[in-house]
Structure 1
Amino acid sequence: MMELSKSTGEADLSLGMGVRVAASIILGATCLIGIPGNSIVIWVILSKMKRRPSTVLLILNLAIADLVVLLTLPPWIYSINNGWTFGEPSCKVVAYLIYCNLYGSVFFITLMSVDRFMAVIYPFASQRWRTERSVCKVLPVVWALAFLFAVPVILLVKVQTIDGKPTCKDDKSDLKAQQITSLAMETFIGFVIPLTVLAVCYAHVIRRVSQMTYKSKNRTEMLIASIVIAFVICWLPYHVFNVFKFASLMVNSDSGAFRVLENVSEVGSYITGALAFFSSAINPLLYAFAAKSFRNGFRSPVMVKIFEQMAQSTKDEYAMERFKTTKMGSIQDL
Structure 2
Amino acid sequence: HCHYNDEGQFLGTTEYDYGYDENTAPCNEGDSFHRFKSLFLPILYCLVFVFCLLGNSLVLWVLLTRKRLTTMTDICLLNLAASDLLFVVPLPFQAHYASDQWVFGNAMCKIMAGIYYTGFYSSIFFITLMSIDRYIAIVHAVYAMKIRTASCGIIISIILIATWVVALLISVPGIVFHKTQKENSRYTCSAHYPNDASIKWKYSFTLKMNILGLIVPMLIMIFSYSRILITLLRCRNEKKQKAVRLIFVIMIVYFIFWTPFHISSFLYTFQSLLFIPNCEIKGHLEKAIQVTETISMIHCCINPVIYAFVGEKFRKYLHRFFRKHVAAHLCKKCPNLYREKLERVSSTFTPSTAEHDISTGL
Identical aligned pairs, as a percentage?
23
RMSD: 3.3
Evaluate the alpha carbon distance shift between residue 71 and residue 230 of structure 1 in structure 2; reply closer, same or farther with a 3 A threshold: same
Matches within 5 A, 1:1-334: 6-7=11-12, 14=30, 15-131=33-149, 133=153, 134-171=155-192, 174=195, 175-220=198-243, 222-223=245-246, 225-248=248-271, 250=273, 257=277, 259=279, 262-286=282-306, 290=310, 299=319, 301=321, 308-310=357-359, 313=362
Q: Which piece of structure 1 moves more, 133-142 or 80-89?
A: 133-142
Q: Partner amino acid for 2:310?
A: A
Give the superposition deviation at 1:307. Answer: 7.7
The count of aligned residue pairs is 308
Distance in 2 of aligned mates of 1:275 and 1:311: 26
Gaps of 5+ in 2: 5-9, 20-27, 323-348
TM-score, L = length of structure 1: 0.80
Q: 1 or 2, which has the higher helix percentage?
A: 1
Give the superposition deviation at 1:211. Answer: 2.5
Give the superposition deviation at 1:176. Answer: 2.2
Give the superposition deviation at 1:208. Answer: 1.4
Give the superposition deviation at 1:71. Answer: 2.0
Q: Which has the higher contact order (CA 8 A, sep 6+)?
A: 1
Distance in 2 of aligned mates of 1:275 and 1:158: 26
TM-superposition CA deviations, 1:160-205 (whole Å, max 9, x none): 3344321212326722222211111111111111111111111111
TM-score, L = length of structure 2: 0.74
Distance in 2 of aligned mates of 1:311 and 1:193: 23
Give the superposition deviation at 1:3. Answer: 7.3
User: Equivalent residue of 1:160, what SS?
Assistant: strand
Distance in 1 of aligned mates of 2:11 and 2:317: 36
Q: Which residue of 2 aligns with 1:320?
A: none
Give the superposition deviation at 1:127. Answer: 2.6
Distance in 2 of aligned mates of 1:180 and 1:7: 18
User: Equivalent residue of 1:166, what SS?
Assistant: strand
Q: Which piece of structure 1 moves more, 89-98 or 158-167?
A: 158-167
Distance in 2 of aligned mates of 1:136 and 1:172: 36
Gaps of 5+ in 1: 314-334
Q: Which piece of structure 1 moves more, 191-200 or 221-230?
A: 221-230
Evaluate the alpha carbon distance shift between residue 299 and residue 168 of structure 1 in structure 2; reply closer, same or farther with a 3 A threshold: farther
Q: Which piece of structure 1 moves more, 295-304 or 270-279?
A: 295-304
Q: Partner amino acid for 2:12?
A: S
